[in-house]
Amino acid sequence: MRGATLLKQGVRLVAASCLLTACEHPIAVVTPHAEVADLVFSDSASAVVFMRTTDNRAWNASPLVLCEGDTHTLVPKPLDFRGMPVDLVSRRDLEIRGESVQANVVWEPLRGRGWLIALASGTTRVRFLVWHLTHADLVTPWLDVQVQPRAACTRPR
């Protein structure tokens, strides 16, 4: 009888020590994917659409013509499958990444916006990704870009 009591106490002690010293691995916090169908870039000053995809198959303006040395401040707006905007600012786990085949164009993301910078003249292709922590929720098609030499630019900066 006393042995059984001792056994019970022992089991409780072991259980308690297991709980106290148990693994401290945190529970992973999973944030939902962004259900994105299209990506729209607007000029930050005028709010005019600078470039956008349609059904994520094509860009509205291809090739995109830029001027050497220009920096365009753009507001990226992902659209869901109903065409409704996905709020990027409230999602700290999402970012808009940019890739350029050549080094003459670079995308520099900022909070809620980004800079598309034409570093040097020449042609390249760029694409953008809605990046969710470790993977892309959306990858746009490649967009042809022509960067004109500063002297050849006719458009106002």
Partner 1 sequence: MNDVRAQSLIGRVMAAASLIVLGACGGGGDVAAPPPEVQRLTIASVVVEEPATGTVYFSHDDHWHGFPTVRTGNSSRYLVHFVKQGRSPDDHDMPPRNEWFTLATRGDHSLPVVIEDPSRARWLGDRLGGTLFGDASGASRMSLRVFRGSTTVWEAPPLNFIVR
Residues that bind partner 1 (CB under 8 A): 2-4, 6-7, 9-11, 13-14, 17-18, 21-25, 89, 92-95, 97-98, 102-104, 106-112, 117, 119-122, 131, 133
Unique residue bearing structure tokens 């490649």: 142
Residue 64 C-beta: closest distance to partner 1, Å? 17
* Residue number with CB closer to partner 1 (80 or 93): 93
Q: Which residues contact 110 (CB under 8 A, 6 or more apart)?
A: none
> How far apart are alpha carbons 135 and 130 in whole angstroms?
9
* Residue number with CB closer to partner 1 (5 or 46): 5
* Residue number with CB closer to partner 1 (82 or 92): 92
**One-character DSSP codes across 100-125:** ESSTTEEEEEETTEEEEEE-SSEEEE
CA max distance for the chain: 99
* Residue number with CB closer to partner 1 (46 or 89): 89
Residue 134 C-beta: closest distance to partner 1, Å? 11
